[in-house]
Amino acid sequence: MKDNNLAKYLSIFVAFVALVGAILFIRVFMEDVDALESDAAIQASVVNPIVFFSAGLLYAAVAIAIVLSLWSVIKNPQNLKKMGIGLGLLAVVLVISYSIADSNAVLDTQGLVLEGGDAGTATNQWVGTGIWFSMALGLVASLFFVYDLVKGLIKS
């Protein structure tokens, strides 16, 4: 009974979020394209609300994911070891990614240094780290996908 009520409330919440998003999206398309591109007041009145709504949904999703993960660890302390190993492996990949990333100057198509893209800046180093980190995790995910696919083919 409890799960049924939760599903009902969740469905109502999802419908509400979808309705608000649809209204904000329709408001953008109701404006003239040229006026939307050139008039800052129209941009602020039409585009800003959908951006803030989307950012709020993103922050809420991140907060809910963190809270539920922590709640799961509190309810099942035996999973704490697995979580620690996983976070440790992610930290190792992050350190390796940071050591591989460079902090060279960021150049445009003419070979000129972009504003804020000077050589040796920490921002350049962390952007490179994020790129390498994403590629490493994508490679691991791809390998597990292929492994699971092959395992499923062998079982069939």
- Condensed to tens digits (0 to 9), the pLDDT of residues 40-91 reads 888 888 889 999 999 999 999 999 999 998 898 888 888 888 888 999 999 9
| Residue ranges per structural domain of the chain | 1-75, 78-156
Query: From residue 128, how far is each of 36, 94, 112, 145 by CA, in Å?
Result: 35, 11, 19, 25
pTM: predicted TM-score of the whole model, two decimal places = 0.59
Dihedral pair phi/psi, residue 119, rounded to 5° = -65, 140
